[in-house]
Chains A and B, each alone.
Chain A
Amino acid sequence: NAGVTQTPKFQVLKTGQSMTLQCAQDMNHEYMSWYRQDPGMGLRLIHYSVGAGITDQGEVPNGYNVSRSTTEDFPLRLLSAAPSQTSVYFCASKGQGNYGYTFGSGTRLTVV
């Protein structure tokens, strides 16, 4: 049982480049979320999904897109990377009735 798997672990992008952060879970969880972690700001919700085909915006959605074509996968796309998107990104999933989220190991992204 792998839990929540994020790839890549590290990434350096140039300003203006696009990329996709991958997130997959094997627990058949309905709910999945993407957070960014910045010093002094805690974790802020970017986008979330309550099931396949359903996504919505969180606190800081600008510059990011998501899709949920399957229950297992919830990729996060950076459309045109900016230095302000330098952060650590965490994906998390939660099953219905399960009170706690399970987090992935994170992707450390640097935009230069």
Chain B
Amino acid sequence: AQRVTQPEKLLSVFKGAPVELKCNYSYSGSPELFWYVQYSRQRLQLLLRHISRESIKGFTADLNKGETSFHLKKPFAQEEDSAMYYCALSGSNDYKLSFGAGTTVTVRA
């Protein structure tokens, strides 16, 4: 069974401070990991996927298979980063996407 855990429900940081959102997963095969972002009352948008190893809006995430983690990081948070962030997982040959409970990030001025 696949499972995604986001231990922090709420995260509050000051503008310009670093922010890190934790994500741990359990999966028996080779997973594909994603971060989705949902701004207030909007649809979910794909932010990052581990396979592309890209940086979007200053965010990066590294897949650590040893620790089964896919933490999301940004060195300098901005007010527009305030949103709900979901970590999600699917199998390499699987189309089902499993989500964590989400972390609400508030960036204070």
Instruction: Name which of B11-19, B39-47, B59-67, B75-83 contacts chain A.
Output: B39-47
Contact residue among A42, A50, A99 (Cβ-Cβ distance under 8 Å from B49): A99
Residues of B within 8 A of A106 (CB): 43
Number of residues on chain B facing chain A (CB within 8 A): 22
- Chain B, Cβ-Cβ closest to A50: B95
Q: Is the CB of B97 within 8 A of A99?
A: no
Q: Is the CB of B102 within 8 A of A42?
A: yes
Given A31-B95, A40-B9, A104 and B43 touching (CB < 8 A)?
yes
- Chain B, Cβ-Cβ closest to A100: B46
Q: Is the CB of A103 within 8 A of B44?
A: yes
Question: Can you list, as one digit per residue, whether each of A53-75 has a CB less than 8 Å from chain B (1) or not (0)?
Answer: 00000100000000000000000
Q: How large is the interface on A (under 10, 10 to 19, 20 to 34, 35 or more residues)?
A: 20 to 34
Q: How far is the CB of A30 from chain B (nearest CB, A)?
A: 8
Given A100-B46, A105-B43, A42 and B96 touching (CB < 8 A)?
no
Given A48-B95, A94-B95, A42 and B44 touching (CB < 8 A)?
no
- Using a CB–CB cutoff of 8 Å, the interface residues on chain B facing chain A are 4, 6, 9, 32, 34, 42-46, 49, 51-52, 86, 95-102
